[in-house]
Structure 1
Amino acid sequence: MAKTEPDSPDAGAAAGTGAIAESRTMRWLLTGIFLIMAVYALYFGKDFFMPVILAFLLALTLTPIVRFLRKRGVPDAASATLLVLLSLTAVGSAGYFLSGPVIDLVNNAPSIGQQLTERLAPLRRPFEKLSHISQQIGTMTEPAQEPGVQKVVLAQPGIVSQAAGNLLSAGTSITIVAVLSLFLLASGTLFYEKIIQSFATMSEKKRALRVVYDVEREISRYLFTVAAINAGLGAVIALGLWALGMPNPLVWGVAAALLNFLPYIGALTTIVLVAVIALISFDTISYALLAPAFVLLCGIAEGQFVTPMIVGRRLEINAVAIFIAIAFWSWLWGFVGALMAVPLLVVIKVFCDHFDGLAHVGNFLSAQQSSEEPDETEEGLAGRKDEAAA
């Protein structure tokens, strides 16, 4: 049998292929390790990373206003201070005026649940027998407690101490967001200049500058436009619920505007909450259903007509990616993380669209099929077969 010489071309090619495969495997392993470590860092360092990312998103949203005022002779420091103070005033005023109705809803939650149960009693009667059987099975399968054995219950922190801790943490986060966003807005182009100075050649500097400005323009336009659309949606819902006689319509308008940053899930949550309050507030069920129906109609009009017409189709995100992002960031940072999920997803998509090596990631996140990718549907394959036959 003939043996392959060590220095033969076949042996060299095989060694080169093995080295390439090994290098690719190591690269994937290092990437996976980096992602796992990044997730752990974001989870355990959320008190630091969450306000920092919120500050960057706020600065991106307000940057076009600062640039607009700069062209008219207003210094960046003055416009940045004014915008940050207006943002804090708006958030503080909304929290102050809505605190009373929200606290009343929380305090009346047991009575609201009891009233809802009474209103839905005719619908629950077919399921009461099954519920009774399930309770009996649970009682029989529960282990009997031996005589003389005492249960130990750990004392939980009081509500006042928990509220004080949450208030202190929220105040710290808001302070970090306000101060950091103020520095980012007041620095003007200094932050971008520092990024460009990190590159050596002039071509790399130009490319970095183009990418930075494109990402800033797209993200600021998206965030500012979506925030304005959500504010308008909340105002319309508040006025409509006020006309229907819904209690606390301003609360539901603000809730609709805030929850609309969560596509699909936020609108569904608003509809369910409004339906619950309407069922216990109005005498007839048919009239009570008008309130959630109105919210649903407003959500359909906003999602299918207003937002696509104003924002455009280019920045639409794949629905599967949206659900995954909301689930991931809500697990990571709670409700605030869920609100930040879609803006961060848009940031990732716009960034990936500017690099050829990450184009497949941007294409996956996009809701529209890329024109550069081949059509692998049945119609596309049939069309190519017809062209080949012709």
Structure 2
Amino acid sequence: MDTKNHVSHSALSLVSIIAVVFILYVLKPFVVPILFAIIMSVMVFPIQRFLEKKWRCNRLFATLVSLLILFFSTALIFYLISTRLMYFLDNSEVYSQKLGELFNKSLNSLERTFNIGTNRLFSDKEFQTENIIKDNLDKIGIVLSESGSLLSDLVLIPIYIFFFLYYRSFFRTFLYKVFKSKSKSFINNILNKVYHIQQSYLLGLLKVIILVGCLNSLGLVFLGISNPFFFGFLAAFLLLIPYIGVIIGSLLPAIIALATKDSAWYAFGVIAVFGFIQFIEGNFITPKITGSKVSVNAFVVITSLILFSMLWGITGMILALPITATLKILFDNTPGYEAYGFLIGEPVDKHLQSKARLRLKSWKRNNKLKE
């Protein structure tokens, strides 16, 4: 009987998960702006709290001022990015022509090296390297413009942010009424943990972006790449997409290096510099700045990136880590789901060592105690 109940409970849980995923997929235009609004509300809330407590401003005025600061800061960032990208796209024909010439020279060099005949695979008149490269450059611009518009074109986000900030006590009381079986202190504790982990993630990410942007820019200055600070901070800004963002961010300056420099080694140098900085960021900068506040292991990060990208595309990749960190808190504080919170978290040293090494450590510790 217990086995049947367990099977039926597991089947019900699986059906519930499938239903939730389907609803999230269908309601993407509604859910994604709300999630972005929640994260950005957490980011701007310290400004509102400062205005309310230090300057004694009423909530409505503090909310409007905080929202205006966020709006102008975001608009300035996107304006700077869009203007430089438009400059890049306007010169795409020049870049594509130079890249086409470089490609043809490389092809001729391969023919001479391997003694390939004149009837080459790419000798068809319809094959034009410049057009192919230009088309791909245009596609890069389309992808970047679409990824930028994911935030800027959602006009509902500022409205959601306003109500999240202005009605925050109202929404807290709503949670008290929904979870009547839990004490107010328990709910407040969960909300504070979620808020602090989101704030730690955002502040840590901002510090990492600034530091990595400076390192990227210095590397590009050393290589003599044009617009070094723009490309350096653009690649750092793309750290919003873990692991993948740095690859996307290194492609544009590498293409510029191929088109403007007399040697392909500059492009390899760009990729090498960005890869080295990414290694420093992942192993030293981010762990030092964020510490163990956002404790999600690398396997879960990669898995969540894949799953959320399948669910919501690029926006899902941006939201993957904040959502996963929040789920860890909810699992850790929900009876019966602690194992899932443990799976999301970082493993301790004993989980990364062999049994023989652990027995050796235990034997040494016991001998010290005897002495």
TM tier, shorter chain? Answer: 0.7 to 0.9
Residue aligned with 1:93, SS: helix
User: Whose radius of gyration is greater, 1 or 2?
Assistant: 1
Gaps of 5+ in 1: 1-18, 136-158
Counterpart selection for 1:54 from 14, 36, 41: 36
Residue aligned with 2:183, SS: helix
What letter corresponds to residue 355 of structure 2 in structure 1?
Answer: E
What is the aligned partner in structure 1 of residue 133 from structure 2? none
Tell me, yes or no, if structure 1 residue 378 matches structure 2 residue 360: no
Change (3 A) 1:268 1:127: farther
Change (3 A) 1:282 1:134: closer
What is the aligned partner in structure 2 of residue 91 from structure 1? 74
What is the aligned partner in structure 1 of residue 297 from structure 2? 318
Written as runs of structure 1 = structure 2, the 5 A alignment for 1:1-390 is 19-72=1-54, 73-109=56-92, 112-113=95-96, 115-119=98-102, 121-122=105-106, 125=110, 174-200=154-180, 204-238=183-217, 240-242=219-221, 244-369=223-348, 377-379=354-356, 382-383=359-360
CA contact (8 A) 1:62 1:224 kept: no
CA contact (8 A) 1:274 1:291 kept: yes
Change (3 A) 1:316 1:385: closer
Change (3 A) 1:116 1:318: farther
Deviations 1:90-146 (A, max 9, x none): 2222333332331343355465355335435538827997xx9999xxxxxxxxxxx
What is the aligned partner in structure 2 of residue 13 from structure 1? none
What is the aligned partner in structure 2 of residue 7 from structure 1? none
Deviations 1:53-106 (A, max 9, x none): 111111122233333443312333333322222222122223333323313433
CA contact (8 A) 1:223 1:343 kept: no
Change (3 A) 1:287 1:198: closer
What is the aligned partner in structure 2 of residue 8 from structure 1? none
Deviations 1:206-236 (A, max 9, x none): 2122111122122222223213321442244
Distance 1:133 1:286 in 2: 26
Distance 1:254 1:293 in 2: 17
Cα drift, residue 385 of structure 1: 9.6
RMSD, aligned CA: 3.7
CA contact (8 A) 1:375 1:381 kept: no
Cα drift, residue 265 of structure 1: 1.5
Deviations 1:274-323 (A, max 9, x none): 22221222223344544334333433332222221121034232222212
Deviations 1:158-210 (A, max 9, x none): x9xx99xx79x858853211111111112343322221233335x63321221
Cα drift, residue 386 of structure 1: 6.4
Distance 2:174 2:293 in 1: 30
Distance 2:70 2:281 in 1: 25
Residue aligned with 1:323, SS: helix
CA contact (8 A) 1:76 1:188 kept: no
CA contact (8 A) 2:255 2:267 kept: no
CA contact (8 A) 1:51 1:177 kept: yes
Distance 2:249 2:7 in 1: 47
Distance 1:173 1:271 in 2: 26
Change (3 A) 1:262 1:99: closer
CA contact (8 A) 1:61 1:221 kept: no
Distance 1:128 1:252 in 2: 40
Residue aligned with 1:174, SS: coil
Distance 1:191 1:280 in 2: 54
Distance 1:99 1:134 in 2: 39
CA contact (8 A) 1:63 1:220 kept: no
What is the aligned partner in structure 1 of residue 135 from structure 2? none
Residue aligned with 1:183, SS: helix
Change (3 A) 1:36 1:23: same
What letter corresponds to residue 302 of structure 1 in structure 2?
Answer: E
Change (3 A) 1:36 1:260: same
Q: TM-score, normalised by structure 2?
A: 0.77
Change (3 A) 1:327 1:186: same
Gaps of 5+ in 2: 123-138
What letter corresponds to residue 363 of structure 1 in structure 2?
Answer: F
Distance 1:171 1:306 in 2: 27
Change (3 A) 1:385 1:206: closer
What letter corresponds to residue 86 of structure 1 in structure 2?
Answer: I
Cα drift, residue 380 of structure 1: 5.8
CA contact (8 A) 1:70 1:76 kept: yes
